[in-house]
Chain A
Amino acid sequence: MAIERKQWKSAIVIAATAWMAVLFGFAPSEATAEYGDVVMNEYSDEAGMRPVVFPHWFHRIRFRCKVCHADLGFKFQAGGNDINMLKIIDGEYCGACHNGDVAWSVENCDLCHSGKAGTPTQVHESTLQKLIMPAGGAPKK
């Protein structure tokens, strides 16, 4: 009887520890929705606008990568596309959708230009940024 009780107790200890170990993998140590968010600040700061934050997560729910990266010609590089408002108004890049037709139009400046001033062009939360860059140092474009 004593042995059974002891076994039962150690079983609980082992099970609880194992369960926590498993869950530790799911630990919300850092909730990183913004993993993959691209900040674009080629011209914004100079123009007195907030930098643009592009949320990949929102767009990939609606479009496959290829739509923007093959059909619209967005290069896989933050700051590598030389996007400006003139091109967008002409229907290029973001303007292919953000024209009041597929998505809301360019008059809603602040919905894209929503980042903290001074944030450099980057892919936010990237492995590159986290592991390779010096602590606190922002990656250059």
Chain B
Amino acid sequence: MRKRTTPYFECALLTLALGWSAVVMAQNWRKLESDGLHDPGSEAVKVLQDPAEAMSQLPPDTAGNKVDWIRALQGGYIKPRSALRGEKEYEVLDGDVLMNIGGSTPAVLFPHKPHTQWLDCKNCHEGLFQSKAGATPITMEKILQGEYCGVCHGAVAFPLTECNRCHSVRQMDAIKRVRGTP
């Protein structure tokens, strides 16, 4: 004999899923007055723009301040100036660097393009990083202490908890790419 039961469990789960979607869609950023940083008694919290107003218009991300700043820039959602007044010529370098080849985690792919769209060459070279590949003794320990990549990542660029955004190339593929075999 077949039991016909009302699918309470399924209904509950569906409701939960839809409810959760609503919560996520309504994702909002804390208001300045309640962000734990601004003094709620300050004039600024009344006058300055609240983050949600600007950031909800930009491509979303799951980490950091929940904005995908690369997509925001490349997709034309924002048009940040390259000079104080207007625009000036600057170099965008389109070249990937593979690092950590032979390491115990996937190899790191560093894309120059999105970095040079925001930054000037001299922001990194030859200070934070040597131009010669492999010449800079980068370690995760140093990065976690705010050096090298950790100067920005973990502060203003996607945070250091997003391991596989950098460690993104399988070692096998990295080795093939370096050797030039398809």
Q: A interface vs B, CB < 8 Å?
A: 2, 9, 12-13, 16-17, 19-20, 23, 25-28, 31-37, 39, 50, 53, 55-58, 60-67, 69-72, 76, 96-97, 102, 110-117, 119, 123-124, 126-128, 131-132
Cβ 8 A contact of B84, one of A26, A37, A71, A128: A71
A26–B69 alpha-carbon span in the complex (Å): 16
Report 18 cross-chain contacts, Cβ distance below 8 Å, ordered by A residue. A12-B14, A19-B17, A28-B66, A31-B27, A36-B156, A50-B42, A64-B80, A66-B90, A66-B123, A70-B123, A111-B43, A114-B38, A114-B44, A116-B37, A117-B39, A119-B37, A128-B145, A131-B161
Total interface residues on B, CB under 8 Å, equals 67
Most buried by A among B24, B37, B49, B156: B37
B10's partner among A9, A25, A56, A112 (CB-CB below 8 A) is A9
Among A56, A62, A64, A116: residue with most chain B CB under 10 A: A64
The A-contacting residues of B in range 39-64, CB under 8 angstroms, are 39, 42-45, 47-49, 51-52, 54-55, 60, 62, 64
Q: Which residue of B lies closest to A10 (CB)?
A: B10
> What's the least CB distance linking A126 to chain B, in Å?
5
A34 touches B17 (CB 8 A): no
* New contact pairs (17) apart from A128-B150, A128-B154, CB-CB < 8 Å: A13-B13, A16-B17, A19-B21, A32-B64, A33-B65, A34-B35, A35-B159, A36-B65, A55-B51, A57-B55, A65-B123, A66-B82, A70-B120, A70-B122, A114-B39, A119-B37, A127-B153
**Contact between A66 and B23 (Cβ–Cβ < 8 Å)?**
no
* Contact between chains at A126 and B154 (CB < 8 Å): yes
Bound together, the chains give a CA A25 to CA B122 distance in angstroms of: 36
| B81: contacting residue among A25, A67, A112, CB under 8 A | A67
Contact call B80/A61, Cβ cutoff below 8 A: yes
Chain B nearest CB: distance from A99 CB in Å?
11
Are A66's CB and B39's CB within 8 A?
A: no
**Other-chain residue from A17, A34, A64, A115 in contact with B30 (beta carbon distance below 8 A):** A34
Contact of B47 among A64, A70, A111 (CB under 8 A): A111
CA distance A2 to B52 in the complex (A): 49
Give residues of chain B (53-104) contacting chain A, Cβ–Cβ below 8 Å.
54-55, 60, 62, 64-67, 69, 78, 80-85, 90
Given A2-B2, A132-B145: A66 and B47 within 8 A (CB)? no
Residues of B contacting A102 in the complex (Cβ-Cβ under 8 angstroms): 84-85
Q: Is the CB of A70 within 8 A of B119?
A: yes
| Chain B residues, CB < 8 A from A65 | 118-119, 123
Closest A residue to B73 by CB, please name it.
A64
Question: Contacts A50-B39, A60-B80, A66-B123 given: A123-B155 contact, CB under 8 Å?
Answer: yes
Beta-carbon contact of A37 and B37 below 8 Å: yes
- Is B144's beta carbon under 8 Å from chain A? yes
